[in-house]
Amino acid sequence: MADTVRVRFAPSPTGRLHIGGARTAIFNWAFARAMGGTFILRIEDTDPERSTQENVDVILNAMKWLGLNWDEGPEVGGEAGPYFQMQRMHTYTEALERLKERGAVYPCFCSKEDLDAKRKAAEDAGQAYEGYDGTCRDLDPAEAQRRIDAGEPHVWRLKVPRDHGPIAFTDAVYGPTSFPVEVMDDMILVRTDGSPTYNFAVVCDDANMGITHVIRGDDHLSNTPRQILIYEALGLPVPTFAHLSMILGPDGKKLSKRHGATSVEEYRDRGFLPDAMVNFLALLGWSLDGETTIMSRDTICSEFSLDRITKKDAIFDETKLNWMNGQYIQKMDAAEWVRLSRPWLARAHAAGYPYVQTAVVPTPDKNAPAPEIELEPLTDEQLAAYDDELAAQPAFYEALYPLVAEREQRLSEGEEKLAYMFWGPCVLLDEKSVKKVLLKEGARAEEALAACREVLADESCEWSAAVLEEKCRALAEPLDMKLKNLLQPLRVAICGNMVSPPLFESIELLSREDVLARIDATMAEVFA
Ligand code: GLU
């Protein structure tokens, strides 16, 4: 076990999986993969007030969605388990016994009130409180034991060796780092109720799980010298540490809610792809060669190394993420696009559904604002209706992909961009497009629509995008019209606006009956 890399991601289930945590998870995962090592997921649930099962589930789901498969941990188990700290209490008790035997800890009977009073006195005197003053450090052991036996509440503190030189280590990212031992007070390892403190539990777990590299956010840097003292007290080897710089928003401030979405599932719900997220997050503080931006999981997993992690704070640039996501959408498999687009395609489908049924032209008043696409959560019936549709005609759904593959930066855009595919036989007409393309051109636009309708109504004509487009385009000359003036009215009649996905590819996917009905409804609506 000693030669193989073992790393862990150790979230506390006190909230969702945030972007920073996901980045830490990715670095650990990629490092394990690159080194042929083991990636462990450990849940640090010792804060009973803030840890919840719901958060555990959310974190596991976010990890799975990102595709960060762990080799040991919840659900998969492993030899070093259990992987929830609350189930490891006996290991902390054992470690405390070992420290007692080694004379490295002492019981402290100072009450919280005593300590608060000392802190306040220091503050009142204008001095900085320097931590615990060691009142119980030199209690006579027999006396201490007597007080323990008498049931007096006590914590266990680490007896920091006062003759220890600077606590030095070589951080894999920051390089040689050291902290003076003088600033380390005798920290509590085990609380009055017997529970371990964060630093103690982490060291016990990392040691018992054979962790070789601790890769985590640099908000933990100040904990590292304390943890090193605990390793030394236990007589255990110290792992390699790698601390990751902060992630900043575009304004240079620490990434937070102020900057918008921060949790992984928010990004999922906004239409980002797991592959794009992993690629983007892997580049927050690491680079392959300083240039390459798009790289597959396989590349990240084979090429990841600690020496290419930068000390510089990483900037979370959402414009770049959007762009990158668009690149991934362009390359993805159509069936996968359908699978991942379910929430938005279902919504587009549901938005079209009532119009099909009622066949009411939805914008009778041209001055009224265009109806908004429903953003309410879908009902179970709506989702079921969509799933039935999808099951009945999967090829239709896959054929939607090329319509938007180069136009979407996020899967969620499919809802708006493709809604018209579900509207027939009536179309939600965009007011601006109607004015500009149909009303302004008046009779000429009507003429163009009527001519195209005739082509589309001709049953002898093959129903394919290429043939229909060629025949419609051929109308330009006899009608003495620019192509734009000829085809834009048709686009508005079929899709509702001027900026829709490719027109004839869309027409091919709709039925002739639907297409003609859309044209008729639009003509009746606008020119009657
Ligand atoms: N549970 C800690 C956290 O969520 C991480 C501990 C560690 O990585 O050492 O911040």
CATH code: domain of residue 139: 3.40.50.620
> Is 1 among the domain residues?
no
pTM: 0.90
> Is 345 among the domain residues?
yes
pLDDT tens series, the chain, 528 aa:
446 999 999 999 999 999 999 999 999 999 999 999 999 999 999 998 999 999 999 999 999 999 999 999 999 999 999 999 999 999 999 999 999 999 999 999 999 999 999 999 988 988 888 899 999 999 999 999 999 999 999 999 999 999 999 999 999 999 999 999 999 999 999 999 999 999 999 999 999 999 999 999 999 999 999 999 999 999 999 999 999 999 999 888 888 877 877 899 999 999 999 999 999 999 999 999 999 999 999 999 999 999 999 999 999 999 999 999 999 999 999 999 999 999 999 988 887 754 433 333 344 444 444 343 334 678 899 899 999 999 999 999 999 999 999 999 999 999 889 989 998 777 788 889 999 999 998 999 999 999 999 999 999 999 999 999 999 999 999 999 999 999 999 999 999 989 889 999 999 999 999 999 999 999 998 988
Element (H, E) at 397: helix 394-404
Same structural domain, 426 and 376: yes
Contact 12, 44 (CB under 8 A): yes
- Count up the domains in the chain and report the number: 3
Same structural domain, 62 and 93: no
Same structural domain, 379 and 489: yes
Same structural domain, 105 and 211: yes
Same structural domain, 358 and 488: yes
- Which of 9, 12, 16, 40 to mutate for ligand 1's pocket (most ligand atoms within 8 Å of CB)? 12
- Which of 9, 44, 246 to mutate for ligand 1's pocket (most ligand atoms within 8 Å of CB)? 44
Tokens, residue 40: 């462990």
Same structural domain, 224 and 356: no
Same structural domain, 126 and 171: yes
How close is the Cα of 363 to the center of ligand 1, in Å? 55
> Is 36 among the domain residues?
yes
Domain residue limits at 285: 6-83+247-325
Catalytic residue among 257, 312, 320, 436: 257
The domain boundary, picked from 292, 325, 358, lies at 325
CA distances from 78 to 25, 36, 57, 98, 214 (A): 18, 17, 19, 25, 19
Q: Crossing angle of helices 512-527/443-457, nearest 10°?
A: 160
Of residues 185, 246, 200, the one with CA closest to residue 219: 246
Active site residue 257: yes
d(CA 298, CA 296): 5
Same structural domain, 447 and 508: yes
Same structural domain, 95 and 52: no
Helices (H), 186-341: 198-208, 223-234, 264-269, 274-282, 297-303, 318-331, 334-340
DSSP 379: P
DSSP 196: B
Residues with CB under 6 A from ligand 1: 10-12, 44, 202, 216, 220
The domain boundary, picked from 293, 309, 325, lies at 325
Same structural domain, 290 and 426: no
How close is the Cα of 11 to the center of ligand 1, in Å? 6
